[in-house]
A and B are shown apart, each in its own frame.
Chain A
Amino acid sequence: DAGVIQSPRHEVTEMGQEVTLRCKPISGHNSLFWYRQTMMRGLELLIYFNNNVPIDDSGMPEDRFSAKMPNASFSTLKIQPSEPRDSAVYFCASSLTAVPTYEQYFGPGTRLTVT
């Protein structure tokens, strides 16, 4: 398996623009997680899906952020409008299930820079 695939790997955009980050989980995995990593706040869980359904979005910072999972093999994280404070590395991870005994497999991340 190719592992978790994220695109783009790097994104530079101007404040106010819409940004869409994409993730393809490992085939057969039923849970998908979106994280954000910054120097100040470390790794934060934004939202997670189980069987394509959003289960917990309490980590989504504000309404400018939205995430979808239209099918088992694809998810998007959208920021509209983007702001400089959204600059971070965004990771997608997948897991067989969300139960505590299963490990998460992380993608390589998307480095977002908002100017």
Chain B
Amino acid sequence: DAKTTQPNSMESNEEEPVHLPCNHSTISGTDYIHWYRQLPSQGPEYVIHGLTSNVNNRMASLAIAEDRKSSTLILHRATLRDAAVYYCILKTGNQFYFGTGTSLTVIP
């Protein structure tokens, strides 16, 4: 299965944008890029997904490199409630490989 690489942790100041990177150099043409986040003591929560084009929703934006070997999750204005572990996942069919994710700390 294709896998992803993310920094273990990142920090951001409150109300500033956050760019969370993800490398997925072995991505195949049918792999969708999904992002989930997990708040403390909760189950993972869907954030956004895409295939080739950049995507926006109410929670975040997803920027996908032209060669699809990397992507970036963008939180436009971090709040304290955004402190969580963010997982970048490649999905083909039913398989989700969550990896270790990036732990985001938001500093007030």
**Which residue numbers of A lie inside 8 Å of B, CB to CB?**
4, 31, 33, 42-45, 48, 50, 55-56, 91, 93, 98-101, 103-109
Contacts and interface: CB of A to CB of B under 8 A. Distances in A.
Interface of B: 30-32, 34, 42-46, 49, 87, 91-96, 98-101
A104 B93 contact: no
B47 to A, nearest CB: 9
Given A91-B44, A100-B31, A104-B46, 14 more contacts: A31-B94, A33-B94, A42-B99, A43-B44, A45-B95, A56-B94, A99-B93, A100-B92, A101-B32, A101-B49, A103-B34, A108-B43, A109-B42, A109-B43
Contacts of B44: 43, 91, 93, 104, 106
Contacts of A55: 94
